[in-house]
């Protein structure tokens, strides 16, 4: 197998290396170009190229339209999520404010600043806070 490949390589090199061989290769290339050009100009090939081009254009427009719809939908979902996050933040702020008010009121009760309280009520409330 190796000897056969070597022989073929030498023969091809000889043909390409000689003037006659170069002329044959050039003629072969020109014939291939001419055949390719003739095939390209055939009506059925051009019909196929036109159909493929139309299909590619249509599909690209459909994909672009689908991408627009998906982006619009995602944008709407993100806006809704952002609104919900804002609502949750407001609720958390309200809860923290309310908790601070409760802590402040309880601190006042325990410190005896409450007008209805006294030593007796302070003791009772301390017991309540342990539960």
Please report, for the chain, the start and end positions of each structural domain, with discontinuous segments joined by +.
Answer: 19-110
Please tell me whether residue 75 adopts helix, strand or coil conformation. helix
Please give the Cα distance from 19 to 10 (Å, whole number): 16
Confidence of residue 87 (pLDDT cuts 50, 70, 90): very high
pTM summary value = 0.43
Per-residue pLDDT tens digits for 29-46: 999 999 999 999 999 999
């Amino acid at each position: 197998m190796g000897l056969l490949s070597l022989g073929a390589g030498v023969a091809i090199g000889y043909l390409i290396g000689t003037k006659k061989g170069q002329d044959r290769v050039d003629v072969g290339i020109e014939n291939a170009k001419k055949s390719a050009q003739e095939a390209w100009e055939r009506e059925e090939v051009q019909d196929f190229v036109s159909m493929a081009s139309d299909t590619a254009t249509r599909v690209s427009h459909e994909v672009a339209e689908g991408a627009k719809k998906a982006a619009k939908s995602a944008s709407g979902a993100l806006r809704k999520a952002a609104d919900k996050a804002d609502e949750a933040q407001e609720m958390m702020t309200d809860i923290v404010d309310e908790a601070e008010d409760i802590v402040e009121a309880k601190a006042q009760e325990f410190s005896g600043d409450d007008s209805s309280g006294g030593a007796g009520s302070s003791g009772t409330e301390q017991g309540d806070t342990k539960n």
